[in-house]
Amino acid sequence: MTKKIFLRIFSVSLGAIIIICTFGLLGYIYDSVPLLIVAVAFALLMAIGASIALAISFSQRLNRIENCLKCMNSNNYLPSEIEKVDSSDTLYPITSELCQLNKNINKRIISEKNEKAKLQQVLDNVSQGIIALSYTSDIVHVNNSALKIFSGNGDYINKKLIFLIDDIHLVEKILSYNEEDGAFEYKIGDKELSFAIRIIFDKNLSKKISKIIIVTDVTKQKAMATQKSDFFANASHELKTPITVMLGLTELLSAKEGIDESSKKQIERIHKEGLRMASLIADMLKLSRLERSEQLDELTNVNLRSVCEEILGELSTQLASKKISWEINGEGSVIADNKKIFELVGNILSNAVNYNKENGSIKIVLAQTKEKTVIQIKDTGIGIEKEHIPRLCERFYRVDKSRSKKTGGTGLGLAIVKHICALYSADLKIESQIGEGTQVSVTFNNVD
């Protein structure tokens, strides 16, 4: 480009020199000074004219480049007139690069706008409310579901959260999560809401978004759960009486004389199945009471080692019949309701015995620190396949139904364990391998 400009200037200058020299030579031959002066003046005029024309042309091209840059600087990425510049132009390399840059930026901006529009459509159509807060706790994004949940009807961007959520206690609870994620439930009027707080730990992102609030309206789910719980409790109560009557009659019939062996076997079978049904109803009532929080906790300092020893004593017959050894290591205690902890540990140990192998073992490890108390119960049983583990705490879920029937399992033991853990915010973890056994760990957070 520089070479082309230099050649043009050189051509004009050379032309002027040639004209001056030509007229100078003619003036010398004819001994005419005026002719020489005219030649010089004409050459100067030609040089000045050519320079002005060149400057105007160059200025126009520079103006096109300037307009393109202004257009880009003002975010107005539209095709510019510099596209019309001829490829033979001295500034064509610059204008061509600027034109291509203009097009690329335009494509990038359009692509980002389309992606932003798609993301906005997704966020606005999810059922959960999503609110993003800046590091100063100002709202930087709120979707339609969040506006609907909190009855919002305005523009809340760059405003404080209290403008959207008209509940100072809820706002304070949300803003209290600064260092780690959290979750809780909260009731506003007739709405039951579930909140999940996600903290942004990325330093670059956290300058714009410090936390994301995910709100789920669980009012209908809570109502359905209550209805199921009511049905569960009512059905259990209704079934309890006939089962009790049936067990009483089978006991009377078994004690009656003159009954043949075949009939006795049938009566014993009915009695056995009645006992299993009675155990199932008892577990259903326990679970129902836990869900409905009908039992008030009598908080005491519960010694976990003593609880384990007492339960193992009750299971001594089963332990002896299968020749299962056991050991307890460590000490630990929790502040809780003694009955609930007894049920929790009892259900876990009962499974460890029922699903253990002949000549197996049970190892209980207790550990306590200032912050946490842990109880681990490991058996050498048949083990559980990994795909079943996430569903073990579901009601009536059984990995092996035939084996559960033989051992008298109701399918509610771990569901009860899960509910008791939830009452005390304890963490339940189940690990298992086929043929090697199962380990159940419960971690309690100690109360100051």
Measured between alpha carbons, how far is 131 from 156 in angstroms, rounded to an integer? 10
Nearest one of 420, 406, 435, 295 to 347, comparing CA atoms: 420
Nearest to 142 by CA among 208, 193, 218, 212: 212
pLDDT at 304: 92
Q: How many helices (H) and strands (E) does the chain have?
A: 13, 12
CA dist., res. 175 & res. 211, Å (int): 9
Look up the CATH superfamily of 126-217.
PAS domain (3.30.450.20)
3-state secondary structure of 439: strand
For residues 443 and 368, the answer to whether their CB atoms sit within 8 Å is no
For domain 299-445, give the CATH number.
3.30.565.10
Q: What angle do CA 203, 204, 209 make, to 5 degrees?
A: 90
pLDDT of residue 46: 66
CATH number belonging to the domain at 223-292, selected among 3.40.30.10, 1.10.101.10, 3.20.20.140, 1.10.287.130 = 1.10.287.130
Q: Is 383 left (phi over 0), alpha (psi -120 to 50) or beta?
A: left
CA–CA dist 295, 288 (Å, integer)? 10
Domain ranges of the chain: 2-108, 126-217, 223-292, 299-445
| pLDDT for 382 | 84
**Can you list the residues of the chain whose pLDDT is less than 50?**
1-3, 6, 80-82, 402-404
pLDDT of residue 1: 45
Paired with 439 in beta bridges are: 378, 431
Tokens standing for residue 401: 């139904």
